Structure 1
Amino acid sequence: MTCGDRRALRRRARPAAALGCLLALLAAACTSGPEGTEGAGQEQAAEGPIVVASGLDVTGSGSVRQQLIEEWNRLHAGSRTRQAKLVELPGGADQQRSQLLGALQSGSARYDVVNLDITWIPEFAEAGLISPMPVAGTGAVADDDRDFIKEVHATTVWKGRSYARPFNTDVGLLYYRPDLLAKADVEADKQPTEDWTWDQLYSSVKTLGLNPVRRDELAGWTTQLKQYEGLTVNTVEAFADAGVELTDSEGRYSSDAGELKKGLDHLLERVDRGRVQPAALSSDETASLTDFVEERAVFLRHWPYAYEALGGRMDPKTYAVNRLPGKAVLGGQNLAVTADSRRADDARELITFLTSRESERCLLDAGFAATRDSVYDDAAQPCWPRVAAALRPAGDSPKAAATGEGVPRKQEADARAAYIRTLGEALAEAVQRPRTPYYGAFTQVLQSHVHALLAAEGPDTAEAADMLDDALRDVFAGR
């Protein structure tokens, strides 16, 4: 029997196969060649580092995730078997999802911990690729779990069981240009406040007197409407503002054509061509941020990491941030233990460290949104000192200090404190995208139908809603 056969049989959890493989191991017969090199390699792999698979760090912070792994390794320097290793997966979210699914289903890569987009949890849990987290009803562990923001922690749950711990979260925010508003003599009562609405944003845009028809012209606002996940997020936010819910808590389709038309009408109003930057239809996070920086949009819907990113590109006096009008969608990633990890106990302990109060503060300082309520308090635990030192911005380099090139210009302390309060409040009231094992199929169908509607010269939302309703019924039924 080959080692590949042994792994496949083990995944099916057949006792006879397990016994057969044990006998084969005792007989030293489970090898791929005459020297038994594959069997030896597997034995060595079981003693190797705790392997964490994750997407790339988009904050440009100096890789806070890697720095946290290194801090864990320093704290466990005396134990060779407790060391951890971060493996960053290339490509966008869809590519990373495919890589992780393929690796875990085939057993081709030995990952102990996977950093999953929050929308993937039901799919990976339903497929048996990740393990449920231990249930802690009382005591210190339970109290620690309750420190996670309630709606953020809910993203780890599928069918009543938690399969992960929240690592870094995300939520839509509204960035704006006070300098451009002042230049256009927009009065204070037409500028963002804590309880701003979309109608007030539309009114401010109207006051600006803008009607862009070319990509290089100044527009009232911009966002991410390219056919990718950003379009799904913008659509779900518009639907949520219109009171449209696509699924129930168990991932069953709960809408209809009439409700979908209401949501699509709301989205079309939001991205009216005289209101939104013409380039938005082909913009992702990077392109929309560039349009904002280069004065082609006064308002911008974006994620929290943009707050730190803008520090390296703009004068702090020229940008500000507030809560997104209406509903904002949650994003982020959760850490889960793989179902076939040989280091499950160590993996869970590593996850506890990576999601601790100190580690979450490090993530917030680096530009991510933290997942714990306590991190947004004035008396929050500080970031691990050595991690904080490693996350110094590029402007701290001798060359940057001498030339001024690339030196991030930070917001004042009171402005940053206000931003952190705003972020915490936005997270507490954010909404989720549909919770379903078929999320990959759902988001592709939604993007395809909505992008076609937005690109049409004379969009017919009734017809589009009928077609989308039929498609979503198939998707959520697993067809």
Structure 2
Amino acid sequence: MRHGRQRGRGTSGPYRRTPSRALAAVLLAVLALPACTAGDDGGSGTAGQQADAAVAEGDIVVASGRDVTGKGGIRQKLIEQWNRQQEEKGSGPRARLVELPGSADQQRSQLLGALQSGSAEYDVVNLDVTWVPEFADAGLVQPLPDELLDGDFIPSVAATARWGGKTYAIPFNSDVGLLFYRPDYLKKAGVTDTQLGAGTDWSTVQRLIGTVGDAGRSAADGYEKGWTTQLAPYEGLTVNGIEAFASADEGLSLTDGAGRYTGSAAKLEAGLKELRERTQAPYTLGDAGRSDEAESLGDFADGRTAFLRHWPYAYRTLHQSLTDQQLGVAPLPGRAVLGGQNLAVTKASKRGPAAQALIRFLTGQESERCLLDAGFAATRLSAYNDNALTCRVAKPPVPAAPNAESTDRMPRDEHGRPKYARDTLLPALQNAVQRPRTPLYGAFTQTFTTQLRRLYADKPPSDKQLANDLHAKLKSALPHP
């Protein structure tokens, strides 16, 4: 998954809004992340300068995007735990985390430039799952022993780490589309059963949206439309599109094992029809067409919609401003897309064995339980199913003073896991689909989003015409049989 396009709607015009307290709280939780940090010292300098300093000290340098659990978050805590273990042994290299600034696309460009030019000697890189084929095909990361990808990893998640029959990365944290909803809105509309389950389809969601609207919710209490998602022209639109396409045709695969385009105009037309029906104006917040993850999250927290398509980290973030009675979560109707990040060893690393040992630690059973407890989607089955497994590395935040309110309001089960993890999150991960796998994923997603945006033009083309155009463009952008 690619989080965090830090983009506003603009400073003027009809779309400018003053954030409410709920919206401000959520945006603060999502956006107040470190721009670039290599630890808790808050030091300045470019990512390349930090990496060079780390190499001089003999550290294993880990390059990653920003941690959605915040500055000094769980990734940094795991790195610190590794360093403590090295100190206790009296030998072994320390590790240092370098967080790359900017959006996911900017981070990808930074990593590609650094590894191709050798300007920053990273040892381990945290790759978006869609980047693995590209970095592997370009020879920028090393094949890893298959034994590192053991049977405890969720099978669907483990598949994102391989390319061309080889293991190039190990799943660190996963992601999957989920449906968040407002049970309090539904109850006020007379819906007695507000527990949406695995069998829920989009027609049911649309019927519930109609019920909420008929019950008289209006702009007076903040409510505007039934649901929102991420339809701005970036990766969020690609994800929503693939989820609709895969739901319309469960056997749909737009690429084969070699990354070649295998779609057809007929299959694309069915997917476009599904996407159009999901995002039609009577149900969807108008601002969804200009929204990324942060903005759609804020709109939902602000009460503007009753439903939201988002990622697992929203469960923890939304509970900072909404109570358990105001927030529900369910599997996304139809098929959901996998996201997440995988750890790989760079081809140029001079610390290959040590880097592999670090990856083994960061993706081990206890580390994955720590990631789950912090709000990420863990990649191992044991994190969800082993009740004896606990996180000793980093506990949830505690009150700073007696009687102070904890900043961790996420509901947990009797074993300390997020309350929804075992019954909702794990099945969603197991049933999720991947985006097209190709070394030319950048060309695919740019083509895909450019064409899908035409659905929301003042005079959109027919599904048939758009399908024919999209088919031709994808054949041009990708190799095909």
TM bucket (normalised to shorter chain) is 0.7 to 0.9
Match of 1:335 in 2: 343
Looking at structure 2, the residues matched to 187 and 302 of structure 1 have their Cα atoms a distance apart, in angstroms, of 24
Match of 2:262 in 1: 254
1:128 and 2:130 matched: no
Looking at structure 1, the residues matched to 236 and 359 of structure 2 have their Cα atoms a distance apart, in angstroms, of 28
Match of 1:237 in 2: 243
Looking at structure 2, the residues matched to 373 and 117 of structure 1 have their Cα atoms a distance apart, in angstroms, of 20
Match of 2:118 in 1: 107
Q: Deviations over 1:13-53 (max 9, x none)?
A: xxxxxxxxxxxxxxxxxxxxxxxxxxxx9999366100000
Partner of residue 362 from structure 2, selected from 354, 357, 369? 354
Contact 1:316 1:409 in 2 (8 A): no
- After TM superposition, give the deviation of residue 447 of structure 1 in Å: 0.9
Amino acid at match of 2:435: R
Match of 1:3 in 2: none
Match of 2:62 in 1: 52
Distance 1:472 1:171, change over 3 A: same
Match of 2:229 in 1: 223
Q: Deviations over 1:67-102 (max 9, x none)?
A: 000000000015465100000000111000000000
Looking at structure 2, the residues matched to 43 and 410 of structure 1 have their Cα atoms a distance apart, in angstroms, of 38
Partner of residue 365 from structure 1, selected from 340, 354, 373? 373
Q: Trace 1:323-472 onto structure 2 (pairs within 5 A).
A: 323-383=331-391, 385=392, 387-389=393-395, 391-392=396-397, 396-398=399-401, 401-402=403-404, 404=405, 407-411=407-411, 413=413, 416-472=418-474
Contact 1:321 1:419 in 2 (8 A): no
Match of 1:195 in 2: 199
1:148 and 2:137 matched: no
Partner of residue 176 from structure 2, selected from 160, 166, 171? 171
Match of 1:38 in 2: none
Looking at structure 1, the residues matched to 85 and 329 of structure 2 have their Cα atoms a distance apart, in angstroms, of 37
- After TM superposition, give the deviation of residue 214 of structure 1 in Å: 8.9
Q: Find the residue that maps to 1:317 and give its secondary structure.
A: coil
Match of 1:66 in 2: 76
Looking at structure 2, the residues matched to 79 and 64 of structure 1 have their Cα atoms a distance apart, in angstroms, of 24
Q: Find the residue that maps to 1:253 and give its secondary structure.
A: coil
Match of 1:321 in 2: 329
Unaligned runs of 5+ in 1: 1-40
Q: Find the residue that maps to 2:61 and give its secondary structure.
A: strand
Match of 1:5 in 2: none
**Count of equivalent residues:** 423
- After TM superposition, give the deviation of residue 470 of structure 1 in Å: 1.2
Amino acid at match of 2:146: V
Amino acid at match of 1:129: L
Q: Find the residue that maps to 2:344 and give its secondary structure.
A: strand
- After TM superposition, give the deviation of residue 292 of structure 1 in Å: 1.0
Q: Find the residue that maps to 1:314 and give its secondary structure.
A: coil
Looking at structure 2, the residues matched to 194 and 434 of structure 1 have their Cα atoms a distance apart, in angstroms, of 24
Amino acid at match of 2:419: A
Match of 2:209 in 1: 205
Q: Find the residue that maps to 2:134 and give its secondary structure.
A: helix
1:184 and 2:189 matched: yes
Partner of residue 312 from structure 1, selected from 306, 320, 337? 320
Looking at structure 2, the residues matched to 458 and 298 of structure 1 have their Cα atoms a distance apart, in angstroms, of 27
- After TM superposition, give the deviation of residue 258 of structure 1 in Å: 1.8
Moved more, 409-418 or 103-112: 409-418
Contact 1:114 1:336 in 2 (8 A): yes
- After TM superposition, give the deviation of residue 468 of structure 1 in Å: 1.1
1:302 and 2:304 matched: no
Looking at structure 1, the residues matched to 351 and 125 of structure 2 have their Cα atoms a distance apart, in angstroms, of 13
- After TM superposition, give the deviation of residue 259 of structure 1 in Å: 1.5
Contact 1:194 1:323 in 2 (8 A): yes
Contact 1:374 1:380 in 2 (8 A): no
Q: Deviations over 1:407-430 (max 9, x none)?
A: 443325369434432111111111
Looking at structure 1, the residues matched to 85 and 188 of structure 2 have their Cα atoms a distance apart, in angstroms, of 53
Contact 1:47 1:81 in 2 (8 A): no
Amino acid at match of 1:120: W
Looking at structure 2, the residues matched to 464 and 421 of structure 1 have their Cα atoms a distance apart, in angstroms, of 39
Distance 1:100 1:122, change over 3 A: same
Looking at structure 2, the residues matched to 342 and 58 of structure 1 have their Cα atoms a distance apart, in angstroms, of 30
Partner of residue 291 from structure 1, selected from 293, 299, 303? 299
Amino acid at match of 1:372: R
Distance 1:445 1:287, change over 3 A: same
Distance 1:462 1:213, change over 3 A: farther
Distance 1:308 1:256, change over 3 A: same
Looking at structure 2, the residues matched to 44 and 408 of structure 1 have their Cα atoms a distance apart, in angstroms, of 33
Aligned-residue CA RMSD in angstroms? 2.5
1:477 and 2:479 matched: yes
Q: Deviations over 1:108-132 (max 9, x none)?
A: 0010000000000000000000000
Match of 1:273 in 2: 281
Contact 2:175 2:339 in 1 (8 A): yes
Q: Deviations over 1:356-393 (max 9, x none)?
A: 0000001001110000011111425211x2x324x416
Distance 1:424 1:276, change over 3 A: same
Percent same amino acid among aligned pairs? Answer: 51
Contact 2:397 2:408 in 1 (8 A): no
- After TM superposition, give the deviation of residue 197 of structure 1 in Å: 1.1
Contact 1:49 1:81 in 2 (8 A): no
Looking at structure 2, the residues matched to 193 and 230 of structure 1 have their Cα atoms a distance apart, in angstroms, of 24
Q: Deviations over 1:263-306 (max 9, x none)?
A: 11110001010011111101111111111111111011110000
Contact 1:313 1:408 in 2 (8 A): no
Moved more, 462-471 or 56-65: 56-65
Distance 1:54 1:302, change over 3 A: same
Amino acid at match of 2:320: G
Distance 1:44 1:84, change over 3 A: closer
Q: Find the residue that maps to 1:76 and give its secondary structure.
A: helix
**Higher Cα Rg: structure 1 or 2?**
1
Amino acid at match of 1:409: R
Looking at structure 1, the residues matched to 52 and 448 of structure 2 have their Cα atoms a distance apart, in angstroms, of 43
Distance 1:124 1:196, change over 3 A: same
Distance 1:73 1:335, change over 3 A: same
Q: Find the residue that maps to 2:419 and give its secondary structure.
A: helix
1:263 and 2:271 matched: yes
- After TM superposition, give the deviation of residue 249 of structure 1 in Å: 2.3
